[in-house]
Amino acid sequence: MFEAVAFYLFAFLTIAMFFITVTTSHALYALTALAAGMIFISAFFFILGADFLGAIQIIVYTGAVMALYAFGMMFFDTTRELKEKQGNKLIVTGLATLAAILTVVIVAAPMVSENIVAFYPAIENVGNTQNVGLVLFTKYLVPFELAAVMLLVAMIAGIVLAGKKMDISITLLDDKEIEEELNKKVLS
Amino acid sequence: MEIGLNHYLVLSTILFAIGLVGVMRRKNLLLLFFATEILLNAVNIAFAAISHYYGDLTGQMFAFFVIAIAASEVAVGLGLLIVWYKRHGSIDLDALTTMKG
Amino acid sequence: MEKYLYIALFAPLVSSLFSALFTATPKKLFTGIVASLLIFSAFVSSSILLMHILEGGEPIHVTMMTWMATGDLYIPFGFVVDQVSVTMMMVVTLVSTIVHVYSIGYMDHDKGFNRFFSWLSAFVFSMMVLVMSDNYAGLFIGWEGVGLCSWGLIGFWFHKESATWAANEAFIMNRIADLGMLIGIFLVYWNTGTLQYDEAFAAMPYLDTATLTWMGIFLFIGAMGKSAQFPLHTWLADAMEGPTPVSALIHAATMVTAGVYLVIRSGALYDLIPNVGLFIASLGAFVALFAASMALVNRDMKRIIAYSTLSQLGYMFAAAGLGAYWVALFHLMAHAFFKALLFLGAGNVMHAMHDELDPFKMGGLKKVMKWTWIMMTVASLALAGIFPFAGFFSKDTILEAAFAEHHFVIYGVLLFTAGLTAFYSFRLVALIFHGEERYKIFGIHPHEAYRFMLIAMSPLLILAMIAGIFQEPFFNMVEEILHAHEYHIHSHVTLWIMLVGTQVFVALAILYAYKKYANSRITVPDGTSAIENSFMYKLLFNQYYIPYAYEEYIVKPYREISDVFWHKVDLKIVDATVDGIAGIIYGTGEKTRDMQSGNLSTMLRWMVVGLITLLSLAVIFGLAVKYSDEILALLSALGV
């Protein structure tokens, strides 16, 4: 019973938040609504007993990703109201609705087989985090390492793309030389 | 009332559809990225739900990796966006039609 | 023995290909010499084969390879050397060799020297294929080949519009007749199941008369085109636009006789349908008279000789139509000799008179061109049928055959034509060689032809004189294959009256011609004399206005219809359809180009559209899989 209440409540909230994200003309409101939506999704993860995933969702998504977006918003100066030339609204909503209906039809059709065998069944009597840890570092080790490498690559890419001219190393020069470099830039 | 797998899947579909609307509608690149996040989250819900109802941890693993990838995607995407903004001064979609076929 | 067959058949082809290598280069003497030597080797092979057949040897039959073997149709590349074909081979190669050697001199200053020999040898090859083939299909190949080479040779000087027009006319008229011939060949195959001569003729007696009649008529239509019988005769006179050696070879000795050869070859068929034979004979007699009448007043030297050829072809068809195939063949052979001689002599005269063709502008040339005068006179005597020259034996036998078969009308017509023939031949000879030298007014300085050309013509001269003695051995040779029989007039008295009477009649005609045209009062007619304005003269001079009628009532309307078809049908319908299809494809491309607008938002929408398409496909296939049994039942109920 509690589960049903929680589910419906959070479902309604999530849908409302995401709806605001896609329809508002204020960029700031969109960002805020998105962040709120992320939190509510993590609530779903907790309802489903995926504790580790829920925590990760909050930390990574709401914490890191949203922070990134906030910085991005500051950079692009999108605090003003957006002027967006909209195309045909009917096509957009119509297409989306159609996609949704089709997916539901596919998914809600009688399940192909009722006797799906679980590959990596959860072990009883241990917490979710422990389960996740067990599976992650044994069966999913290689993807884990690869994901780590990928994150490293993304980080470096982010630095390179967004950084200013980096031919002067501020840490290795002392103050006087830094002054000279800056003056040179001002005069030229 | 019993909440079954179907409920979660319908919810996930609705969220996915909202995300599609956002993707199709938004003309500002940054807000387009927001819509993409919505898509990814909807799919995560579906994975977690299936994992719960079948007692299989595979779904959660999938969702986990999706989150990792989404994070790195945001990093790189924003970096590219910055470079573009520096060059063209605007991030409006209708303005960046240089690859006209 | 087979190797002689192959040499005779392929030496002309080698010659043609060899000369074809040099068509783009200026005159090279050795092309002419090599070509002549190769054709001469073909002649030697033909003579050896002739000896072999004369001594009673078996006809030689070779099958080189299969051309078509589909279903019931079997056509091989087969060649046969029997009595009929070896006669034709000998005639063709002999005249060809002489013409080749003659052309070395005649085409001396021509730019297209090499090209000429290539075409000429190609023609000889096609003619050999025609006469040596052992089935109707091979005959047809040769038929078309000689038509093509004749086109190339008539239109040899292609920068002259009259020449190209004449070449086209010849080819097109031949083509019209070929349609009839093709229908005839189809009928032969359809009813007898084969195109080989021996098998087809063996099967023919079992067919009904109506079918055989149609076969015979259609095959004869083909012969009509090739041998220029009425009404497809206008091309022969116009074909004189080509060089004179061409006229000598093609339009005297070989191509025009292909039609006669066809009728002779199909003798077994025409024996079964004597009515068609009678029609052929009547048409032949008519043409003989018709052509002779037009030659009476003509003022073009080569055209007179061309009409003479036409007339003699009529004689040959008359003989063949009456069932006297061996007589037709014999006359074909003799005629080839003296007609080629006439043409070559005319070539000499033309060269001497700088291509002047009007005999009224010549005269008294016998002083300057003695040998040509002798040759042309002998040839004309042979043509007229004076004893003991060649023409007497062949023409008189035709007259005898007509008389003996009790076709007196044909006999009368042919007899009268013989007189006309003598008259116009000697009119020509008298105007050119006797009387005053009218050419001096026009400042022309004639000279005799090269010595080697005269030497080349001499075999024809000798043969024109003595060919008569070959009649008996010839008869014996072809007796069996052509069901030949000698013609006996019942009473000796009648026979002698006929012979002597014919000779007297002909001699009188010759003397009258000499009297009228070999005196010094002849002037160049300038269109004002009374005779020239008389109705008969105008009618004959304009060839009975037949070419004019063809032009007005057939060519012009046809051109109009073609124009209509071009503008209304081809351009508006066919082209429009094709362009329309292309236009639709272009339009579709233009419209779908908008998909690639470069606008990310639009592209994302298209992506969602694609996604929906895939989802729908998934739903449909899922449903199909789930209800596959019911779907199969439904389809089988519909009968798929």
3-state helix, strand, coil in chain C (%, to 5): 75, 5, 20
The count of other CB atoms within 10 Å of the CB of residue C524 is: 12
Measured between alpha carbons, how far is B31 from B97 in angstroms, rounded to an integer?
Answer: 18
CB C94 within 8 A of CB C40: no
For residue A103, the chain C residues in CB contact (below 8 A) are: 615
Whether A7 is covered by a domain: the verdict is yes
Same domain for A70 and A137, yes or no, is no
pLDDT category at B47 given cuts 50, 70, 90 is very high
Q: CATH no. for residue A31?
A: 1.20.120.1200
Q: If you average pLDDT over residues C586-602, what whole number do you get?
A: 82
pLDDT of C199 > 70? The answer is yes
pLDDT tens column, C13-53: 999 999 999 888 888 888 889 999 999 999 999 999 988 88
Contact across the interface for C598 and B23, Cβ inside 8 Å: no
Could you report the per-residue pLDDT of A98-155, keeping only the tens digit for each? 888 888 777 766 555 455 566 666 666 667 788 888 888 888 899 999 999 999 999 9
Give yes or no: residues A75 and A129 share one domain. Answer: no
A60 part of a folded domain: yes
Percentage with pLDDT > 90 across chain B: 45
Gap from B97 CA to chain C (nearest CA, Å): 4
Structure confidence by residue, pLDDT tens digits, C629-640: 888 888 888 876
Residue A86 lies in a domain: no
* Distances in whole angstroms, Cα of residue C488 to Cα of each of C271, C281, C397, C495: 20, 19, 10, 9
- Domain assignment of residue A68, yes or no: yes
pLDDT of residue A141: 92
Q: Give me the residue from B3, B17, B94 closest to A7, CB to CB.
A: B3
**Chain C touching partners, 3 or more CB pairs below 8 A:** A, B
Q: Is residue A63 part of a domain?
A: yes
pLDDT for the residue B63:
93
- Check pLDDT > 70 for residue C111: yes
Q: Convert the pLDDT of each residue in C148-189 to its tens digit.
A: 999 999 999 989 888 999 999 889 988 989 999 999 999 998
| Domain identity same for A16 and A71 | yes
Q: Which residue among A53, A79, A105 closes a domain? A: A79
Averaged pLDDT for residues A55-65 = 93
Q: How many CA atoms lie within 13 A of B99 on its CB side?
A: 9
> Residue A156's domain spans which residues?
125-188
| pLDDT band (50, 70, 90) for residue A167 | low
Q: What percent of chain C has pLDDT over 90?
A: 19
Flag whether pLDDT at C238 surpasses 60: yes
C-alpha C250/C-alpha C264 separation (Å) is: 19
Answer yes or no: is A135 within a domain.
yes
What pLDDT shows up at residue A45? 93
Reading the block at residue A13, the tokens are 């909230």
Does the beta-carbon distance from B25 to A34 stay under 8 Å? Answer: no
A91 to chain C: closest CA residue: C605
Does residue B96 have a pLDDT over 80?
A: no
The pLDDT tens digits for C397-433 are: 888 888 888 888 888 899 899 999 999 999 888 888 8
In a domain, A97, yes or no: no
Condensed to tens digits (0 to 9), the pLDDT of residues C440-461 reads 777 778 888 888 888 888 888 8
Residue numbers in C near A92 (CB within 8 A): 605
Residues contacting residue C512 through CB under 8 Å, at least 6 positions apart? C423
The tally of domains found in chain A comes to 2
Instruction: Establish if B101 touches chain C: CB-CB under 8 angstroms.
Output: yes
Nearest to B101 among C593, C600, C604 (CB): C593
* pLDDT over threshold 80, residue C527: no
Whether C240 and C303 have beta carbons less than 8 Å apart is answered as yes
* Residue A38, pLDDT above cutoff 90: yes
Same domain, A5 and A71: yes
If you average pLDDT over every residue of chain B, what do you get?
Answer: 87
**How confident is the prediction for chain C on average, in pLDDT?**
86
Domain end, chosen from A45, A61, A79, is at: A79
Residues A67 and A134 in one domain: no
Rg (CA), chain A: 24
With beta carbons less than 8 A apart as the criterion, state whether C233 and C310 touch.
Answer: yes
A44 and B CB contact within 8 Å: yes
Q: Which of A50, A79, A108 is the last residue of a domain?
A: A79
Which pLDDT band, with edges at 50, 70 and 90, does C490 fall under?
low
Instruction: Report the complex ipTM.
Output: 0.89
Inter-chain contact C615–A106, Cβ cutoff 8 Å?
yes
| Nearest residue, CB atoms, A7 vs list B7, B26, B37 | B7
| Across C327-331, average pLDDT | 89
Q: B101 and C597: CB-CB below 8 Å?
A: yes
Between A74 and C586, name the one with better pLDDT: C586
In the prediction, which pLDDT does A13 show? Answer: 95
Is A133 in the same domain as A188?
A: yes
Q: Is residue A113 part of a domain?
A: no
The answer on pLDDT for C390 being more than 90 is no
pLDDT tens digits along C369-386? 888 889 999 999 998 888
Name the residue among C529, C531, C90 with its Cα closest to residue C330: C90
pLDDT for residue A166: 65
Bridge partners of A121, per DSSP, are: B56
Given CB atoms, is B81 within the 8 Å cutoff of chain C?
A: no
According to the model, what pLDDT value does residue B45 have? 94
Q: What is the pLDDT of residues B3-26, one digit of tens each?
A: 888 889 889 999 999 999 888 888
Per-residue pLDDT at A85: 62
Task: Give tens-digit pLDDT for C252-288.
Answer: 777 778 888 998 888 888 888 888 888 999 999 999 9
The residues with which C196 forms a beta bridge, in sequence order, are C135
Q: Decide if A106 and C619 are in contact by the 8 Å CB cutoff.
A: yes
Q: Determine whether the interchain pair B41/A68 forms a contact, defined as Cβ–Cβ distance below 8 Å.
A: no
Amino acid C153: pLDDT:
92
Range name among A119-123, A161-165, B45-49, C520-524 with the lowest pLDDT average: A119-123
